A and B are shown apart, each in its own frame.
Chain A
């Protein structure tokens, strides 16, 4: 009889201890009990590489000091599952309050209008977190280096702003500085190449160095994406004369569709002598990479660079923090050498440098229109894009801040660069999925040892008209699909009366502009239609 009694008391005692322990934990740590004084919001993004999570964490810590009543949780989602994660959570109503989104995410074009809320009106007011700084009276939208140019370009509703950006990215050459010193020795006359011709001379010295070392060293680490970024930039830089010719509208730049329309109206082609000369330079650059680079991924190029098999890797400044932190050698950041008027291949039609720091900003965050704490989310949006937070983000992430007036650490100065070149757009390699496929699939004919410019052009020219038409048709379909539901949105907004009249007026204008673009595209497609 006594034993069960003892066991019962022991069990009861254990339960009591567990209860008291839990109660102590809850009261002292605060977790688990709803803290009604604190509003919790979540910010989700896919930038899980070295840098951005640290930068955002620093911003969040400072924000907590300023606003102890708002707690911000950073949600890190790997890029490979980001789209599925985003769609599922938005549909299920469990999306984060602030969400990173990019118009380049495949199959997600409907997301902004369905799930995000425009912040245009707020953008026209100063950001209160810039009080006491030179940006105090500047409209929020103009506190970004690019005035949110890229976001406006990709806005789902022309004229409306949906997002704030955190960083600036540029394409740069990352250099193994130790190897560069070994290649150039103590040559007092050596200076880092500024022109394409100087870059060619360094490539010759690198080959000589590789022979001396008895191992393979490439000038450029090779991978499909890295090559595409470099080639597209160089084509745009070399063909500035064509860019100017294509500026039919007098906007001193071209949008992607200007290259499509220009091609279909026979205003440029790969048969033009200047375009062929530029392709010749692309062949030169391709020869500086390992054979078969088109089959390789970004990680392969980084590995090639990190293991000392390549002097440079051409990539975006988003890789800067990882490369600098992880490389076993000093990493330098350099601007791409560009051709000048004296260049033997493309100098005859050179008209000026291309901008390699377009000041475009990215890592855009959108406001979830179904978020339960919109006011808190907007407040944090303002803080994270303030001058103070921009500085914190840059200092802790190693990524260039999107915010004007932030002080650039010296190590990032070459990553930012100066606005000392023409910014005219570009679309010589791809203007959509079909043109990208044709160009990339045939790249081996340009780059391969048995290939050449003539073979490449002979291969792609017969296919390009169809590919460009397919890309333009895809854009037209997307435009039509986007503007159809706007009719009901416009009518509904006007039914809401004067409070929504401004938004309705802007939507009507936006729809008319999109429709105009659609009809222009359809007209060009009709006039360039292949004859039966």
Chain B
């Protein structure tokens, strides 16, 4: 549970909706809150209004370093933000340093949501940005090992999805990507086109890898679950190509 977060509820609500000027006004008017919460709010004001100046980045980094000294959820969050600053907010990102901070976060606060989200971000860096390992298959394998540190299903799903996508992008055998994509699908809960894309992708990649029945099942499921998608004709043609009908035998 957030520590005394309710004191600054209006501030958080405004920041969440990118009303930063209003958030700052609410911050000034707010009753005295936990000083660490107030420090966090100050850092978020800076991060919420890019582009960041070098001075702004230095301020946020100092604040987060201070806050991260603790041993609570806010400390984990601050360490996560420290990593994000060097990964995405600095004009010249330092991916190895960000990776190092994510690893430290996972070591110090393994159960924290922020540590687990950090592992997803570390996975992205491993797959695409870190110099080592250089080999695509090794990168995919290394990212896969991070999954054991993640217990939140949605975050597991997100990393599986990224590993699968990276395997496809790198031209690795389809059977390297498919288990990750299927695992992501099994968690479910993806919103919008991402979920629709995933079902088609598993279906089509399965067909390409020779897993005919699995491919057909996913494409048929797509036709059933997404009645308005503009790719229905493509899928109907694909099913006809492999000699399958639009719906499973015996389906209503």
A interface vs B, CB < 8 Å?
A: 113-114, 117, 120, 142, 144-147, 149, 152-153, 155, 158-161, 247-253, 352, 355, 358-360, 369, 404, 419-424, 480-481, 483-485, 487-489, 491-497, 500, 505-506, 508-509, 512-513, 515-516, 519-520, 522-523
Contact = CB atoms under 8 A, between A and B. Distances in A.
8 contacts: A249-B168, A252-B235, A355-B233, A421-B233, A491-B15, A509-B191, A512-B120, A515-B121
The 3 closest A-B CB pairs, nearest first, are: A159-B191, A147-B228, A519-B128
Contact of B228 (A146, A160, A488): A146
Contacts of B154: 505, 508-509
B76 to A, nearest CB: 11
B191 A484 contact: no
A491 B6 CA distance: 14
Nearest to A509: B158
Contacts of B50: 481, 484-485
B197 interface: yes
A249 B203 CA distance: 11
A149 B158 contact: no
A250 B48 contact: no
Interface in B201-215: 201, 203-205, 208
Contacts of B155: 508
Given A114-B18, A497-B2, A508-B158, A492 B128 contact: no
B88 interface: yes
Contacts of B158: 508-509, 512-513
B28 interface: no
Contact of A516 (B11, B49, B162, B204): B162
A512 B154 CA distance: 12
Contacts of B2: 494-495, 497
Interface string B148-191: 00000011011001100110110000100000000000000011
Contact of A249 (B113, B127, B194, B201): B201
Interface string B113-128: 1000100110010011
Given A513-B158, A515-B124, 18 more contacts: A142-B228, A144-B228, A147-B227, A160-B191, A250-B174, A250-B200, A483-B88, A485-B18, A489-B15, A491-B40, A491-B77, A491-B81, A493-B12, A497-B2, A509-B194, A513-B161, A516-B165, A520-B165
Interface of B: 1-2, 5-6, 8-9, 11-13, 15-18, 40, 44-45, 47-50, 77, 81, 84, 88-89, 113, 117, 120-121, 124, 127-129, 154-155, 157-158, 161-162, 165-166, 168-169, 174, 190-194, 197, 200-201, 203-205, 208, 226-235, 237-238
Contacts of B200: 250-252
Nearest to A508: B117
A422 B230 CA distance: 9
B201 A492 contact: no
Nearest to A351: B237
B15 A488 contact: yes
A464 B11 CA distance: 48
Contacts of B230: 146, 149, 355, 358-360, 419, 423
Contacts of B17: 117, 369, 489
Nearest to A161: B192
Contact of B128 (A160, A489, A505, A522): A522
Nearest to A424: B234
A493 to B, nearest CB: 4
Contact of B121 (A158, A512, A520, A523): A512
A496 to B, nearest CB: 5
Nearest to A250: B204
A432 B231 CA distance: 24
A496 B191 contact: no
A485 B5 contact: no
A421 B230 CA distance: 10
B190 A509 contact: yes
A253 B124 contact: no
A404 B84 contact: no
B172 to A, nearest CB: 12
Contact of A147 (B12, B16, B89, B229): B229
